[in-house]
Structure 1
Amino acid sequence: MPESINISASRGAAILGLSKYRTPVEVWLEIMEQHKPGFCESNGFVKPERQYNAAMQYGHAFEDAIVGLYESETGLVVHDREIFYQHVDYIYITTHIDGYAGRNDTLDALHTGFSDNRLYEAKTANIRAWRESWGEPGTDEIPADYMVQVLHQMICTGYEEADIAVLILPENQDWLAENARDMSQIDPGSIARALADLGFFKIYTVKKNERLQSRMIEAYREFWETNILGENPPEPQKYDDIRRIVPAPSGTILANETLEALCGEYSQTNAALKAATDRKSELKKMIVNGMRKLSADAHEEPESVGKWRLLNSRGRQIASYSGDRFNVSKGA
């Protein structure tokens, strides 16, 4: 079976409805098009285009650097990077691993208590996402889609434990891609070491969970047999899913009570949203204009170079404005 026609670890989270980037419908369309080239066009479906976004770009750029940080931190050595595995019974369940970490006899003196022979997975996360979605280092408190990914990898490989090494970036990857230097002009290794020295490198550990893994396999089997082999689309999760599988609707439909109520609620929500949007725009103008009027008394600080910082009476920043970027702090 070609590697692309499968349920991979990255697709697993989407099939379970836990991916930030893809829905079950998008994965279904991808697999069906790979399984039967021309499937989307012949059925009037809109094939999803894979995006190489900034998060992926930064993740790939720092892969080798994160390996180096992990090996230095644990005394383990990462082997067999990008090896392909498939489940022994369900050959459509597959994975590529970032590697596995094991002991190296020459590094015994550096070993720091990490047990060996575990899967290794590298991630990058901006600091806001890390604070919101990751827990205490050393635990398994990681984002749900990453949890599915490593449990999926264990299903295919037989490993019972995985380390997730995460390098935390100071800004959102999209902002970095637009404002920082081109990735081809920087040294990821030097940047990674500097961030690690500042405490922005963490390691999390996930152990196998047979109950969850059994439920994952059952969900995969249902998806494969019902949606792939049966050629039936999964239940849409987003409005765009419906647009993909029904691109050219035609016909008059008599609404039932549920749809009538939903249409009424939509109309009310739309009106409330417009009012909130108008008020938000007015508040933004009032805040920035108020900062302008007070700016004559502003005092220069390293943190305020190139922007206005608005502090409350307790000295806490509650807003900032740099000409092209306006922000109000959460909880202000």
Structure 2
Amino acid sequence: MTATEDRILVPGSAEHNSLVTASKVAAIMGHSPWASPLSIWQQMKGIDPGAAQTREQSRGHYLEPAVMAWWQDQHPEYTHVAEQTVLSRGELPWAAATPDGIATGDGVPIVGVEAKTAADTRDAWGKPGTDEIPLYYAIQAMWQMHLGGHQITYFPVLGEYLTFSEYVIEYDPLVGAELERQAFEFWESLLYDDAPPLDDHPATLESLRRVYSDIDKATDVYIGTDLARRYVAAVEAEKAGKAALTAAKSEMSKAMTNARRALVVVGEDALLVATRQAAANGAPYVKAAPKLPTIPSED
């Protein structure tokens, strides 16, 4: 393990953009809610400045010290947590990781610590004490362990109602090797200007909007009929879908009355379909569950 504690790898810097880091690996694998393979590729090429920090990311940044302090209270055996560590391996000069913390202590193994906040842990996060965490965070931790050499990463989480919980991920060398393989292929694609294909991730569209931010009012472009047909069909489908969703939300609102959650029984399980949430300036609104259930047809 190579741990460099005398430098900070600043997100958005030229050095950071040149390296495949933990959060980028989740996007490269297609499992990040915030970034896509193309958005990361364009940022690493230096043609996309990247998106501004979201409110959720800012919240996590401000609350991270409190979450780390709680974790240290739960684990007094770890007497030191290095919070500005850059992990790297000499044979992988294109790779790096910046964990929230690397914890050490007498007679205990070195572990990683990732402090997280979540407005709702009931669906994306499983039972505390397990490894049931969002996939993109699991990939992040696996990459950090692959570079750092430690075998365990703790995830202390500040969830809803200001409740703390903890999850644990163990290193899997087969997964680590596969992440390295795909990350290296992605890094090579930067050298050969071989961009990832377009996809339906919102970050892909936002990245393209930033790259092509100017409007040349004197220029027209002629597109093929296939693209024109797909675009028109998608716009019409969106219109129909919005109308159908509005009608369904009205039905759901009436069915829920003043209830907070709407559940459906499938087999022996009661599955969450929607919740009613308070609005900042107005009446509660219906919001779909983060992970919608699969509901079999009645046939």
Superposed, 1:95-174 pairs within 5 Å as 95-104=97-106, 116-127=109-120, 130-170=121-161
- Contact 2:116/2:157, CA 8 A, preserved across alignment: yes
Equivalent-residue separation in structure 2 for 1:222 and 1:89 (angstroms) = 15
Higher helix proportion (structure 1 or 2): 1
Say if 1:26 and 1:48, in contact at 8 Å, map to a contact too. no
Unaligned runs of 5+ in 1: 34-39, 41-46, 106-114, 171-194, 292-308, 313-317
Shift of 1:132: 0.9
Q: Report matched runs for 1:40-119 at 5 Å.
A: 40=47, 47-75=48-76, 76-104=78-106, 116-119=109-112
For 1:1-332, what aligned pairs fall within 5 Å after superposition?
A: 2-33=15-46, 40=47, 47-75=48-76, 76-104=78-106, 116-127=109-120, 130-170=121-161, 195=162, 200-226=163-189, 228-238=190-200, 241=204, 244=208, 247=212, 250-255=221-226, 266=234, 269-270=237-238, 272-279=240-247, 309=258, 324-328=282-286
Return closer, same or farther for 1:263/1:95 CA change in 2, 3 Å cut-off: closer
**TM-score (norm: length of structure 2):** 0.71
Q: Are the equivalent residues in 1 in contact too, given 2:20–2:94 (CA < 8 A)? A: yes
Deviation at 1:270, TM superposition (A): 3.6
SS at match of 1:62: helix
Q: Which amino acid in 2 is paired with 1:220?
A: A
State, as a whole percentage, how many aligned pairs show the same letter: 22
Maintained 8 Å contact 1:13/1:148: yes
- The residue aligned with 2:272 is none
Could you list the per-position Cα deviations for residues 99-157 of structure 1 after superposition, in whole angstroms to 9, with x for gaps in the alignment? 2223358xxxxxxxxx5421111111112xx1111111121111011001111101111
Cα distance change of structure 1 residues 327 and 233 upon mapping to structure 2, 3 Å threshold: same
CA contact (8 A) 1:78 1:120 kept: no
Amino acid at match of 2:112: L
SS of alignment partner, residue 164 of structure 1: strand
* Counterpart residue type for residue 171 of structure 2: K
Task: Give the letter aligned to residue 326 of structure 1.
Answer: P
TM-score, L = length of structure 1: 0.65
Alpha-carbon spacing, 1:236–1:137, altered in 2? closer, same or farther (3 Å): same
| Structure of greater Rg | 1
Alpha carbons of structure 1 residues 276 and 72: separation in structure 2 relative to 1, 3 Å: same
Give the counterpart letter for 1:97 in structure 2.
Answer: P
Alignment deviations for residues 29-53 of structure 1 (CA, whole Å, 9 cap, x no partner) = 11111xxxxxx3xxxxxx2532222
Residue identity opposite 1:213 in structure 2: G
Q: Equivalent residue of 2:179, what SS?
A: helix
Q: Could you tell me which runs of 5 or more consecutive residues in structure 2 were left unpaired when the two chains were aligned.
A: 1-13, 262-274, 290-299
Distance 2:277 2:95 in 1: 48
CA contact (8 A) 2:36 2:201 kept: no
**Structure with the bigger percentage of strand:** 2
What secondary structure, in the 3-state scheme, does the structure 2 residue paired with 1:93 have?
Answer: strand
- Equivalent position SS for 2:282: coil
SS in 2 for 1:101: strand
Q: Is the 8 Å Cα contact of residues 142 and 171 (structure 2) preserved in structure 1? A: yes
Structure-2 residue corresponding to 1:108: none
CA contact (8 A) 1:87 1:155 kept: no
Tell me: CA distance 1:104–1:64, structure 2 relative to 1, closer, same or farther (3 Å): farther
Q: Deviations over 1:46-74 (max 9, x none)?
A: x2532222211221112221122111112
Matched positions, count: 251
Q: Distance in 2 between matches of 1:3 and 1:311?
A: 43
**8 A contact 1:15–1:27 mirrored in 2:** yes
In the TM superposition, structure 1's runs of 4+ consecutive aligned residues that sit over 6 Å from their partners are none
Q: 1:124 to 1:77 in 2, by over 3 A?
A: farther
CA distance in 2, matches of 1:146, 1:31: 21
